[in-house]
Amino acid sequence: METVAMYWESRIKTYGFQVVKNLSLYAYAFSAELWQRWKEVEADHNRFQLVCAQQGETGGLELILVCNPEQGRACARRIESVLAKTAGEPRVTSPVELIFFQGPHFGDRFGIADFTCRALEEQVDDLLAALFTSASIYLVFPKGAADKARDRLAAAFRVPR
């Protein structure tokens, strides 16, 4: 079945920008075997703000976890105790700042990522991580960059009043 949609805006609508500051980014290189033991980490009630993983050249996954520093440290201790030595030290960037937002049919429309990068101008170079999945966009910046990035995005996208 084919569905043809026509959805175009002179200014792309969002449902507003959320900014969260004072977060930590943990990056782990995990082999596939280590993932099997992840459930032993017993993450309890720890919560993440963002998680993503990419396959590296060796076939393992690099996991990026953005969460509040206390929960991140607790999680890192558990990972170290269960997967000690084999997991290796995480690469930690802290503090970091997160902007996330969503909009109508973002996941079904071409050009949303391009529009976002253009709106950010040279701040694209500051990005530590970015996710464009389904209808949502998550952007991770170093400390002090999120407010300026939000202002640029808010000037480019249409924001609800």
Q: Segment 26-85, which members bind other proteins (CB under 8 A)?
A: 27, 32-33, 35-39, 41, 43-55, 61-65, 75
- The minimum distance between CB 82 and other proteins, in angstroms, equals 11
x/- track of binding to other proteins for residues 123-152 (CB under 8 A)? -xx-xxxxxxxxxx-x--------------
The residue among 48 and 69 lying less far from other proteins, judged by its C-beta, is: 48
Shortest reach from residue 104's CB to other proteins, in Å:
11
Kindly report the number of other CB atoms within 10 A of residue 47's CB atom. Answer: 10
Nearest approach, Cβ of residue 3 and other proteins (Å): 5
The CA distance from 107 to 153, in Å, is 18
Query: How many chain residues are in contact with other proteins, going by CB under 8 A?
Result: 71
C-alpha distances in Å from residue 6, one per residue of 9, 111, 114? 10, 14, 19
- What's the alpha-carbon Rg for the chain, to the nearest Å? 18
Question: Does the footprint of other proteins cover residue 19 (CB under 8 A)?
Answer: no
The answer to whether the beta carbons of residues 49 and 66 sit under 8 Å apart is yes
For 143, phi then psi, to 5°, come to -55, 135
* 28 contacts 62 by C-beta, under 8 angstroms: yes
Task: Tell the smallest beta-carbon distance from residue 147 to other proteins (Å).
Answer: 19
Return d(Cα 131, Cα 140) in angstroms, integer: 9
Smallest separation (angstroms) from other proteins to the CB of 85 = 19
Among 16, 21, 70, 118, binds other proteins (CB under 8 A): 118
Nearer to other proteins, 89 or 125 (CB): 125
Instruction: Kindly tell me the burial class for residue 42, based on how many C-beta atoms sit within 10 Å of its own C-beta (0-12, 13-18, 19 or more).
Output: exposed
Subset of residues 86 to 115 that bind other proteins, contact rule: CB under 8 A: 91, 100, 102, 105, 107-115
